[in-house]
């Protein structure tokens, strides 16, 4: 029987090994065969139509770090194809909040969206899914790993995770943009109080702050905060989160100036069958591990046209984390890490009278990819999917 000290040392070695494996270059993944038929994905063009000034926000909402919803069979099976075109276009309109507190509403039209929705999903949860009700957000033994050490915190992919001043997490998706969950900045009716002076935090390892030698491991990383220039939230969320569940729980933050860290490219979410290893990964700032970056990975359990259902362990604060996986890049002809979703929270899914609980991420469908890409580039010509 191992002593507590021996178990602690073993866990430390396992964490170190895991971190080293994660930093292996993409060339190592070439051993994985490509998907049988890696067909290109059609991405529609999102074209802005009109921009209308809105009254200033009251910033009256409270940040909700533990976001939980319920979904029944009709909710699970609802897809973009079933939405009326006019209704869906209305949800893809977006609101922009500026640093001075002003805001605008931009309406859009979608061009070439006949085949733009996510892949149709199975008629219901897969056979063999977990059916036992378990403690929400942590499933069985805690499978999260604290990421420590300068050479890990500042290296890709961990360097792409950033803190949001309202208490959530975000992921760097360009030199100046951060993707996060909408509920971190807006409750569906109004912006949260902290969105008035929203900031993004970059983790700074202890040694860079002047700590040297063995003392570095005993000190927590500091955070360098950068102000947000503007925030964009889809109208599908602002219409009310309970109406659309988690389908539109995403927002894009534009920083006041570019950063110098690696960022992770976006991808339309592939079917789990086309995802390398059928696994997703994300790193976030879980509230029960203050000041630490926490990494986890797990298999995809279920998927609808808009959501990824999984049992990755998470706690409040991880909301907004960029969910990534190994996606086959047709242009480069290799597997690449790409952001395929945004971690939203927890959902009770009722199917055939039985409650099942999952942690949930928002899928990046072709339409959402077109919208987010337009927010980043401001030019639809730059938003052609690989």
pLDDT at 337: 95
At 378 the three-state DSSP class reads coil
pLDDT, one tens digit per residue, over 27-71 is 455 566 776 655 678 888 888 999 999 999 999 999 888 888 888
pLDDT at 368: 96
Closest CA to 136 of 356, 373, 375: 356
For residues 77 and 71, what is the distance between their CA atoms, to the nearest angstrom? 10
Q: Which two tokens stand for residue 343?
A: 């971690």
Q: For tokens 């339409």, what's the residue?
A: 367
pLDDT at 142: 67
For residues 100 and 72, what is the distance between their CA atoms, to the nearest angstrom? 41
108 HSE (CA, 13 A, CB side): 30
Closest CA to 228 of 97, 362, 83: 97
For residues 310 and 318, what is the distance between their CA atoms, to the nearest angstrom? 14
pLDDT at 257: 94
pLDDT at 201: 97
Sorted by sequence, the CB contacts under 8 Å of residue 90 that are 6+ apart come out as 235
pLDDT at 27: 46
Kindly give the confidence (pLDDT) of every residue in the chain, 386 residues in length, as a single tens digit, with 9 standing for 90 and above: 555 554 554 555 455 555 545 554 444 555 667 766 556 788 888 889 999 999 999 999 998 888 888 888 777 776 545 455 667 889 999 999 999 999 999 999 988 654 444 443 443 444 334 333 334 466 666 666 676 665 677 789 999 999 999 999 999 999 999 999 999 999 999 999 999 999 999 998 876 655 444 444 556 778 999 999 999 999 999 976 555 568 999 999 999 999 999 999 999 999 998 998 889 999 999 988 888 899 999 999 999 999 999 999 999 999 999 999 999 888 888 899 999 999 999 998 887 778 889 999 999 999 999 999 999 998 777 776 54
Q: For tokens 């991405």, what's the residue?
A: 43
Report whether 291 contacts 114 (CB < 8 A): no
Q: Which two tokens stand for residue 231?
A: 């925030």
Q: Which two tokens stand for residue 156?
A: 């890709």
For residues 146 and 301, what is the distance between their CA atoms, to the nearest angstrom? 24
Q: For the chain, how big is the Rg over CA atoms in Å?
A: 20
pLDDT at 128: 39
For residues 79 and 220, what is the distance between their CA atoms, to the nearest angstrom? 44
Q: For tokens 């929705």, what's the residue?
A: 117
């Amino acid at each position: 029987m191992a002593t507590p000290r021996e178990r602690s040392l073993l866990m430390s070695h396992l964490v170190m090994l895991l971190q080293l494996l994660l930093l292996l270059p993409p060339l190592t993944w070439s051993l994985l065969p490509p998907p049988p038929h890696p067909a290109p994905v059609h991405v529609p063009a999102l074209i802005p139509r009109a921009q209308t000034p809105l009254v200033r926000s009251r910033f009256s909402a409270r940040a909700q770090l533990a976001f939980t919803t319920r979904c029944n069979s009709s909710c699970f099976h609802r897809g973009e194809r079933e939405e009326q075109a006019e209704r869906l276009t209305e949800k893809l309109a977006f609101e922009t909040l500026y640093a001075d507190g002003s805001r605008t509403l931009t309406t859009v039209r979608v061009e070439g969206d006949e085949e733009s929705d996510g892949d149709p999903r199975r008629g219901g949860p897969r056979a063999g899914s977990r059916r036992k009700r378990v403690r929400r957000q942590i499933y069985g033994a805690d499978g999260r790993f604290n990421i420590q050490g300068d050479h890990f915190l500042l290296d890709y992919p961990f360097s792409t995770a950033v803190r949001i001043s309202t208490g959530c997490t975000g992921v760097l998706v360009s030199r100046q943009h951060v993707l996060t969950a909408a509920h971190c900045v807006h409750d569906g009716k109004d912006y949260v109080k902290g969105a008035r002076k929203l900031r993004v935090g970059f983790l700074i390892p202890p040694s860079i702050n002047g700590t040297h030698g063995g003392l570095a491991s005993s000190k927590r990383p500091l955070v360098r905060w950068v102000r947000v220039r503007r925030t964009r939230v889809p109208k599908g969320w602002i219409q009310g989160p309970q109406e659309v569940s988690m389908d539109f729980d995403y927002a894009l933050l534009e920083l006041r100036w570019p950063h110098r860290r690696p960022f992770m490219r976006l991808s339309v979410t592939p079917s789990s069958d086309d995802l390398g290893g059928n696994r997703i990964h994300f790193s976030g700032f879980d509230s029960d591990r203050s000041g630490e970056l926490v990494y986890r990975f797990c298999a995809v359990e279920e998927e609808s046209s808009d959501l990824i259902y999984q049992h990755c362990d998470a706690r409040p604060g991880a909301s907004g984390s960029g969910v990534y996986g190994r996606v086959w890049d047709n242009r480069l002809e290799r597997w690449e890490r790409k952001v395929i979703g945004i971690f939203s929270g927890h959902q009770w899914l009722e199917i055939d009278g039985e409650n099942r609980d999952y942690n949930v991420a928002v899928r990046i469908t072709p339409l959402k990819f077109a919208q987010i890409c337009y927010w980043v580039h401001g030019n639809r010509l730059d938003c052609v999917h690989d």
